[in-house]
Amino acid sequence: MAGPLTGVRVVELAGMGPGPFAGMLLADLGAEVLRVDRPGVHGHPGDPGLDVLGRGKRSVALDLKQPRAAEVVRHLAARADILIEGFRPGVAERLGIGPQDCQAVNPALVYGRMTGWGQDGPLANTAGHDITYLALSGLLHAIGPADGPPVPPLNVVGDYGGGGMLLAFGVLAALLSARQAGVGQVVDASIVDGAALLSAQVHGLMRQGLWADRRGGNLLDGSAPNYGVYTTADGRHLAVGPLEPKFWAEFAARVGVDGDPYDPAGWPALRERIAERIATRTRAEWLAVFDGSDACVAPVLSLSEAASADHPHLAARGTFVESYGVTQPAPAPRFSATPAALTAPPPHPGEHTREALADWGVDDVNALIAAAVAIQA
């Protein structure tokens, strides 16, 4: 069965991180995603064929510095529903493939723009990375121990949560609008905006005096004894999160501790007692204690452990799959009638130049390749 985005055509101007992640999400759901690579360049640090963000896509290689390549991109845009790019502001315009150029040949085109700082503002044309965008959003300040500096949460919160995920959400919302109104629009997705959006509930809690604007002392930042990570006897870890009273009661009974986790004044002492108890048994022993319970306890699996599918829940759900020689997360979410699927391995840059351009109606593919405007890998 086809995915929910079957029939949607997407042109992805190759980039790094969040843009390719958004393209992967669309491809997983059935969209036809054509990635436009620069000759001999790929953002993945390693074998492009193992770049999971490229799964389900085809690749054409175009030398965008040549005017004829811009003509090809505009040709593709004329036949696409969505175009995604992640250049600095103004670069696409200078290349002749900006929103006005592309929407001139396809007024219904949704033009998705992925940047760190956004298309305008004092920082729009400056460099940055996930950590700097998180820093400005306020999120980075909130993550980490009270007695140390903030801790970067990998690049999953900014690049992928606040960036690529929001871009995919935005272009699909704009596509719905375009199909109703017949007119596309530009989607300005910036990581700093998206990361700030992820903190919406925290801002509401701060306004009510229920969240302190500092690391430490908050219910969900690892300070509360009933929401944190504890070390077991074998040096491994358990994630503990029995926030509600009935769950806390079950946890406390199974661990053998007492105390009030809802009184911040007693948090340090209660956390120490829990830590002492957890340190008396191995992770496996504790998992046997909590098996089938509502104590809200889970093992802290490494990336390799999670991908191994040894955990019965991950195995039953098929959360990870082995595909094209790589163990990787399966498409999500799940659809009852139009399931998502992994349809093709990640391409090498230019792997499909000849066939894909022909499929998209480009007539003079051989001439473009002969002139090095397009490159067939």
Which residues carry out catalysis?
Answer: 129, 159
Instruction: Kindly state the tokens that stand for 30.
Output: 């059935």
Residue carrying structure tokens 């098996």 = 291
DSSP state of 139: H
Q: Which runs of consecutive H residues, i.e. helices, occur in 106-213? A: 130-137, 139-142, 165-181, 191-198, 200-207
- Three-state DSSP at 120 gives coil
User: Rounded to an integer, what is the distance from CA 167 to the centroid of its chain?
Assistant: 10
Q: Distance between CA atoms of 127 and 132, rounded to whole angstroms?
A: 9
- For residues 156 and 195, the answer to whether their CB atoms sit within 8 Å is no
Could you tell me if 183 and 110 are in contact, meaning their C-beta atoms sit under 8 angstroms apart?
A: no
| CA 125 to centroid of chain Cα atoms | 23
HSE value, Cβ hemisphere, 13 Å, CA-based, for 343? 20
